[in-house]
Amino acid sequence: MKIKRVFLIVLDSFGIGQQADAADYGDGRCSTLKSIAAAPNYNTPNLQKLGLFNIEGVGCGIRSKDPWGAFGRLQEKSHGKDTTTGHWEIAGIISEKALPTYPHGFPAAILHALEQKWGRRIICNQPYSGTAVIHDYGQEHLATGALIVYTSADSVLQIAAHEAIIPPEELYTYCRQARAIMTGAHGVGRIIARPFNGSYPNFERTPRRHDFSLEPPAPTMLDILTKANLTTIGIGKISDIFAGRGISRHLASSDNKNGMEQAIRCLTEDFSGLCFANLVDFDMKYGHRRDITGYAQAATDFDRQLGEFLKKMQADDVLMITADHGCDPGAPGTDHTREYVPFLAYGQTITSNLDLKTAPTFANISATVLDLFGLEITTAGQSFADKIRKN
């Protein structure tokens, strides 16, 4: 049977155990899955049936006696452990050089260029938690109109501003200007607008966040699918991550639940191609905040919607579930963790109880997607299609 649609769902930061090179990235023992699976509120029977706990090296949970699909783990080959490098590798680009990070803040020359362009002073200029930074600098921002610029362990420049002082569209303009400045050696993966509102000490970030990403340096599977006149739907921050390139239609999502609702609605549409979704709450709301209980509940809630998704799949649909990096809520600090990620594939055309072991790169996903659609594989990675497709 010919494949008509592939649904690729990225559980943002859902790592399944440390890679051998984790220490090179400042990580000790880590496993996002092991940390959350030990929580009393963790319950993911559908992921279990798909083979999550059968994956090589997972070492937790109850293995399925007869997994419904193909399962394996993927190693990140790119240099980095962030959203951009992870998603780019999923889509077929291996980043040989890590994107720049700024553990001590941005250099004076960059700050000067930004202030000149914006006509506003910059405050903070440190790695910071997004909720803590508006608490600590929000009052000064309100009093002076200065922009709160900060970063994290990721390759990002983030700009926070109160919506009463700087409306979101104006903040987006500042981000576009920063994107034009942050190129070359300072080409961070993302410039992120972080609007907030409220009053001290109860400032709150609004849902009008927007990412302005570096363009991928080479064609991705999205570009190739689009060139072949196949539909590419991006749910959540997928369009942002790829700077809008290769995306036929962008569907915004407010949270994990809404993202899955969008994916389930796409099952009712008549299209041929890829639906590519990112569920960011795992990372943003729970991983970075080291909230094991919250992360476990998010996984439980996703699994409930996954059950609904599985029931509505068509005979010529393929579902793939993976992640872009780890963010172990049981690990020290607040940073991402360098981990293997899961690969689960399911559908009426997919072989059940198939152990794919460990693959050397996330890019095998892009190669598999292209191969399933009968397209030439021009991205990095080796296709699983011949293994996972039923004869």
Quick one: pLDDT at residue 195? 98
**Are 346 and 319 part of one and the same domain?**
yes
Three-class SS of 220-253: CHHHHHHHCCCEEEEECCHHHHCCCCCCCEEECC
**Residue 391: pLDDT over 80:** no
Query: Do residues 273 and 324 both lie within one domain?
Result: yes
Amino acid at 195: P
Final residue before a domain boundary, out of 178, 213, 248:
213
353 and 258 within one domain: yes
Q: Are 116 and 70 members of one domain?
A: no
**One domain, residues 123 and 207:** yes
pLDDT of residue 260: 98
pLDDT digits (tens, 9 = 90+) for 32-89: 999 999 999 999 999 999 999 999 999 999 999 999 999 999 999 999 999 999 999 9
Are residues 223 and 348 part of one domain?
yes
Domain assignment of residue 202, given as a range: 108-213
Rounded to a whole number, what is the distance in angstroms from the first to the last CA of the chain?
Answer: 9
Mean of the per-residue pLDDT values for the chain?
Answer: 97
What is the rounded CA–CA span in Å between residue 370 and residue 275? Answer: 13
Answer yes or no: are the C-beta atoms of 52 and 71 closer than 8 Å.
yes
- pLDDT confidence bin for 353, thresholds 50/70/90: very high
Q: Structure tokens of 256?
A: 């994990």
Q: Count CB neighbours of 192 within 10 A.
A: 25
Show which of 165, 192, 213 is a domain's final residue.
Answer: 213
Residue 256 has pLDDT above 90, yes or no: yes
- pLDDT for the residue numbered 153: 84
pLDDT in the model for residue 374:
97
Note the pLDDT of residue 303. 98
Chosen domain end from 195, 213, 231: 213
Residues 6+ apart with CB under 8 A from 305: 257, 260, 261, 264
The answer on 378 and 297 residing in a single domain is yes
pLDDT, tens digit (0-9, with 9 covering 90-100), for 179-212: 999 999 999 999 999 999 999 999 999 989 999 9
Whether 322 contacts 341, CB under 8 Å: yes
Phi, psi at residue 167, to the nearest 5°?
Answer: -60, 150
Q: How far apart are CA 75 and CA 116, in angstroms?
A: 43
CA 50 to chain centroid: 21
User: Do 168 and 222 belong to one domain?
Assistant: no
Number of domains forming the structure of the chain: 2
pLDDT tens column, 38-54 = 999 999 999 999 999 99
Nearest to 214 by CA among 175, 247, 255: 175
pTM of the model: 0.93
Cα–Cα distance measured from residue 346 to residue 319, given in angstroms and rounded to the nearest whole number: 5
CATH number at residue 120: 3.30.70.1250
Question: Across the strands, what pairs with 72?
Answer: 343
> Do residues 68 and 156 both lie within one domain?
no
Q: What are phi and psi of 211, to 5 degrees?
A: -105, 140
For residue range 101-123, what is the model confidence (pLDDT) as tens digits? 999 999 999 999 999 999 999 99
